Chain A
Amino acid sequence: MATALRWGKRLGGLAIVFLGVTFIIYLAVFALPGDPIRAFAGDRPISDSVVATLRAKYHLDDPLWRQYLDYLLGLFQGDLGTTFNGRPVADQLAARWPVTITLALTAWVLEIVFGLGLGVVAALKRGSLVDHGLLAVTVLASCVPIFVLGVLSQQVFGVKLGWLPVAGVRSGWPVSYILPASIIAVFGLSAVSRLMRGAMVENLGADYVRTVRAQGFGEGRIVGLHVMRNSLIPASTYLATDLGYLLGGSVIIEGIFNLPGVGNLLFESIRSHEGPTVVGIATALIVVFLLTSVLVDAIHALLDPRVRRG
């Protein structure tokens, strides 16, 4: 009962956040300079009467709050809106999202495996050359701008060595996704490994570790079960939040590797003043993000009984 109430409150909070954030995005997009109808027409001359018809069709002359309200109503009926081309935004998203999801999950798994793995190694060998080396490499890697890393890896692995495709998704998973996913993963990975290392070191010195050691348990069980479960709490919180970011698509990486994902779509839409598409994508991303924040709480409660209280 208390748990249900707690999650009910949580979801209610999410609804408020959702309304606020979508409104801000709506406001921001429609406050952009330039007239969407003119942008849609491009260089062709367009008569005032056509402009007026189009403006009426898209309710562009209504006050902003009215437009937003219409939009929300549509949203609750599962309608993310239509682009100026007359295609539903939902269809566009459905066509692009699988690419982004594949990319995100690949990168995410790499972050989990290597981030946690390197963190554990660094913690167990703390103070050693390995520990310092890992620190240097991860910090260095996350300091290089992402596009430098992207273009560089394209050059090396795609052009020079020819091991992996330079761009596009024609070769399918995993080949096409290895390079872009690895580059995205490098950034999350350094954070995850530092978090994991810190938590492990702290827990290795904790009193309860001394207790189980005094009882004669082996190091494998001490580290693998007792220390690990406690240390996963901060890293898993970060990882779940990061999944939200990743599912939003990476504009830069999708651009460099020419992956037709959500990031790419968002970029194109902003450039062509496709207000409905931008707002539609943003709304979908907000939902994903809010859901991952619920996921964070759930994982946290799963790992740590102390936060389970109602």
Chain B
Amino acid sequence: MADCLLQIEDLDVSFDVEGETVLGVRGVSFDVSAHEVVAVVGESGSGKTVTAMSVLGLLPHNAKVSGSVHLLGQEVGRLNPAQLRQLRRSSVGMIFQDPVAALNPVFSVGFQLGQVVRLHHHDLSREQVRQRVVELLDLVEIDQPETRLKNYPHEFSGGQCQRIVIAMAIAGWGQPTSGDGSDPAEPAGQPRLLIADEPTTALDVTVQAEILSVLRRIKDRLGASVLLITHNMGVVADLADRVVVMRAGEVVEINDCAKLFAQPEADYTKALLAAVPKIGASATAAPPALETRPTVPIPPPDGPDPASPAPTDRIAPTSPTIPADRRTDPMAPASPPPALEVTDLVVSYGRGKRGRTEAVASVSLSVQAGEIVGLVGESGSGKTTLGRAAVGLAPISGGRVLIEGQDLAGLSRSRRQELRRRVGVVFQNPATSLNPRYSVGATVTEPLRVLGGLAPPEAQGRAVELLRAVGLGPDWLDRYPHELSGGQRQRVAIARAVALDPVLLIADEPTSALDVSVQAQVLDVFRSLQARLGFACLFISHDLAVVDSLCGRVAVMHQGRLVEVGPRQAVLQRPRHPYTRRLVESAPIPDPVRQRARRVAPADPADRTDPTRDHSVSS
């Protein structure tokens, strides 16, 4: 009891939204002890962030709170504003999901850190404050802290911003006189709590690994407890001691981390864990049809399934040969040209010597008919640009893009348009890639009517088939995007993309914005649709596990270049290129035992100077 830093008992939070009461969380109880990492996991809307916000009294004004939050011996709900500020200044710190937005863009990093230091130690001189700020930046491993003090948040990368936010959160903890920050700055007597709300969600996987290690070091050195809010089971396995699983505002299970993964108690936890894609999991399970390069798609399921949009020539009257082509034996001498063939592609933006950047630098890649190729890489690697160039949405500065053997560039306008309609695209964010004023029906029938030349009733019928194929019934036709959940929206987007029976589908992070359980469903839909329609697909993702579960071949991009291409298992199990290796190693495994074992393995000391590490976006 004495070493209980945080006790939440029977917490109820609801929000008053324009006269209506919206439930936040109900009956939440758990506690955090000294030196303990407690993870609160759940999908969006589960109330985990609401719980975190209530700890520091940061809920918006329309929130109604009952129950008790006991933090460092004080009852948060009973404090007046001045006492609440005092509590926030004490040994509690909070870090947030979007680190770049969490810093004020118009003040230098040194100023923002300095003000927090001064808040805790009013009597420090300018120089002492500066020294303390340098110490803090050093503690979170920002290189050359003295010179970077003057920089503004936009001059740091996302990972560096998160380090700075962590530094701000712990700025009041140590004693400024303790000299070098490597000491355990204070005897372990003082309780300290770091609340981390999705601290790595907005970051690339290699950067995530670094931030997690910073968090772990801070916890060890400063003797802090951590309340970790996350949806990522890998992160939980990596860091947590105990786990609180939340769903729809309620706690469904509290368990030891190891036990939770080994023997989950609640059905929901089991489902959640099952939905998490794991690298290597599909090695034994039924692999996608294209494991060993045959390009024959699985034929449509038996009989004329009403949901099956199999009679493809109906909607592609201009190219009746295509479906036939795709169903011929690929081993036949006249094998069809690859669905997508990219040769020495260069895409560059900007003008002049200094302004010119190559987003894609001399990349060659092909996607055979009916094949799914995964394109992985971190933000800024050029994977999205490559996908865009394949549909003619990015300026091609060099090289060629062939779709079914035809060069987009060499064609007349009308031929190019015709070719383009054989390429479908699904984007990452279904909330913005669907027209909010178009009903689901209008969205799906638009390409059928305008590009496919179908009469409205036919288009309508076909739209119903397509919606059924993605798991939505005909009664969804009249709904609008804002009435749909994220997963439903993405299903609509997929239905629209395959409406014209494309030869090639470019899927750009189609499940990244979705919760894991929804992601699993959407991936299932995607898989069965691909098996039925047999389109080739360039599946762009940062998630190695998703790619592993779906793709036959994997291509890895890094800084505009293709560093490795090969069969899925070879690339992900035995990566040859050092970057691929780092990528694979950075992704935390949703299994605490294996993850711990991996972490114990000595890290390469040269890693800290690796130029490919999280680096500043500008100088």
Contact = CB atoms under 8 A, between A and B. Distances in A.
B525 interface: no
Interface in B91-115: 93-94, 96, 98, 101-108, 115
B455 interface: no
A304 B102 CA distance: 16
B282 to A, nearest CB: 37
Given A215-B168, A305-B105, A210 B88 contact: no
The CB with the most chain B CB atoms within 10 A, among A212, A230, A304, A309, is that of A212
A229 B106 contact: yes
A211 B103 contact: yes
A230 B106 contact: yes
Interface in A190-246: 206-208, 210-219, 226, 229-230, 233
B168 A216 contact: no
Contacts of A219: 81
Contacts, number: 72
Interface string A250-282: 000000000000000000000000000000000
Contacts of A212: 104
A210 B99 CA distance: 12
A303 B102 contact: no
B105 A213 contact: no
A233 B104 CA distance: 14
A195 B111 CA distance: 27
A306 interface: yes
Given A207-B96, A210-B58, A210-B96, A218 B104 contact: no
B107 A229 contact: yes
Contacts of A305: 105-106, 108, 152, 154
A213 B102 contact: no
Interface in A120-141: none
B186 to A, nearest CB: 19
A216 B87 contact: yes
Nearest to B155: A305
B119 interface: yes
Given A207-B98, A210-B96, A216-B119, A303 B106 contact: yes
B89 interface: yes
Interface residues of B, number: 32
Contact of B152 (A206, A229, A306): A306
A215 B119 contact: yes
Contacts of A233: 106
Contacts of B171: 215
B85 A218 contact: yes
Contacts of A206: 101
A54 B105 CA distance: 63
Chain A interface residue number, banded? 20 to 34
B143 to A, nearest CB: 21
B101 A208 contact: yes
Nearest to B618: A309
A128 to B, nearest CB: 12
Given A207-B96, A305-B154, A309-B618, A215 B105 contact: no
B56 interface: yes
Nearest to B60: A205
Nearest to A305: B152
Contacts of A213: 58, 88
Interface in B137-196: 152, 154, 165, 168-169, 171-172
B154 A306 contact: yes
B116 interface: yes
Interface in B537-582: none
B86 interface: yes
Contacts of B90: 216
B85 A216 contact: yes
Contacts of A214: 56, 58, 88, 93-94, 169
Interface in A276-290: none
B86 A208 contact: no
A306 B105 contact: yes
Interface string A287-310: 000000000000000011110010
Contacts of B88: 213-216
B116 A215 contact: yes
Contacts of B58: 210, 213-214
B19 to A, nearest CB: 13
Interface string B54-70: 00101000000000000
The CB with the most chain B CB atoms within 10 A, among A210, A211, A233, A309, is that of A211
Given A219-B81, A226-B107, 18 more contacts: A207-B96, A208-B101, A211-B94, A213-B88, A214-B58, A215-B93, A215-B116, A215-B119, A215-B171, A216-B86, A216-B88, A216-B119, A217-B85, A217-B115, A218-B85, A229-B106, A229-B107, A230-B106
Interface of A: 206-208, 210-219, 226, 229-230, 233, 303-306, 309
Interface of B: 56, 58, 81, 85-90, 93-94, 96, 98, 101-108, 115-116, 119, 152, 154, 165, 168-169, 171-172, 618
Closest 3 CB pairs of A and B: A216-B89, A216-B88, A207-B101
